[in-house]
Amino acid sequence: MRLDLATWPEVEAYLGRSGGIVVPAGSTEQHGPMGLIGTDTICAERVATAAADLAGAMVAPTLAYTPAPFNMAFPGTISVSESLFEKLVTEILGGLASHGFDRFYFLNGHGANLAPLARVSAEFREERGTRIRIRSWWDFETVNALRREYYGEWEGMHATPSEVAITQATGRIVPPGDAASPPERLPPGYVERHAGDRHGPPAEHRRRFPDGRVGSHSALAAPEHGTSLLRAAAAAVAEDYARLMAEQGAALD
């Protein structure tokens, strides 16, 4: 059930049986020549909503304005500071907690959200004794098996064919254009070294990755891949959410 499409009596009734809520977190940033600006937001929201349907969970409106400073040299990117994002998330969790929500499952679609979400969650758990879990939709083995099978090394790091495929499954398919040919290959270890989107300043990042793809061959995406990735991610998240709901005591993982 989507919180934004629920009425308050429906939310009150839900809280009578569950204190859990899924909070999707995306971004508003460039995703290469054929990836939509809202790619991360669309992926997080679609996976979270499908998982929540499977698990009978409530899902909050998606956090779409998040930190993406390294992509600010590409038109369309909107980046907010980590400190503002952390304050916003703190107040959102506070608002939800005041109504009785006490288990939060962040379903993430953007690497740069992970560190701020972890900081906020650690503080919140400390103060309120809640259970909080943070997962990205690509964290699950069933999802990774598909990513490897479809794209191998060409999954890369940004404007990945898997995230583009999930957006394609929602209906909009942008022809590859300049992204028809593969991007420059990333040096070994690049993805690990830059995990969590640790990239350089905007101008340098655009010079290094001129069309916005970071080692990802977006044009390998296909809508039917997107449907399968979405289904695998939603099933994995629904199972993991059920585990979170079954666990006792305060925790963050």
Give CA–CA dist 42/39, Å, rounded. 5
Amino acid code (one letter) for 41: T
Q: Which stretch binds Ni ion (CB under 5 A): 40-48, 72-80, 122-130, 226-234?
A: 40-48
Half-sphere exposure at residue 70, Cβ-oriented, CA atoms within 13 angstroms: 20
Residue count, binding to Ni ion (CB under 5 A):
3
Q: Select 40 or 102, whichever has its Cβ closest to Ni ion.
A: 40
Q: Select 49 or 77, whichever has its Cβ closest to Ni ion.
A: 77
Q: Considering the complex, what minimum distance in angstroms separates the CB of residue 31 from Ni ion?
A: 6
Report, in this order, helix, strand and coil percent for the chain, each rounded to 5.
55, 15, 35
Is the distance from CB of 77 to CB of 207 less than 8 angstroms? no
Give CA–CA dist 78/25, Å, rounded. 14
Q: Fill in the DSSP letter of residue 181.
A: S
Q: Select 40 or 45, whichever has its Cβ closest to Ni ion.
A: 40
45: contact with Ni ion by CB under 5 A:
no
Q: Considering the complex, what minimum distance in angstroms separates the CB of residue 65 from Ni ion?
A: 15
The residue from 24, 40, 89, 216 that contacts Ni ion (CB under 5 A) is 40
- Chain positions 149 to 168 lying near Ni ion, rule: CB under 5 A, are 163
Residue whose CB is nearest to Ni ion in the complex, by number: 40
Q: Which stretch binds Ni ion (CB under 5 A): 37-45, 86-94, 219-227, 245-253?
A: 37-45
Q: Which of 130, 126, 127, 6 is nearest to 60 (CA)?
A: 6
Q: Select 130 or 136, whichever has its Cβ closest to Ni ion.
A: 136
* CA geometry: angle 232, 157, 21, nearest 5 deg: 45
Q: Select 113 or 130, whichever has its Cβ closest to Ni ion.
A: 113
Q: Considering the complex, what minimum distance in angstroms separates the CB of residue 90 from Ni ion?
A: 24
Q: Considering the complex, what minimum distance in angstroms separates the CB of residue 41 from Ni ion?
A: 9
Q: Considering the complex, what minimum distance in angstroms separates the CB of residue 110 from Ni ion?
A: 6
Orientation angle between helical segments 223-246 and 161-169, nearest 10 degrees = 90
Max distance between CA atoms of the chain, in angstroms, equals 54
Give CA–CA dist 214/209, Å, rounded. 6
Footprint of Ni ion (CB under 5 A) = 39-40, 163
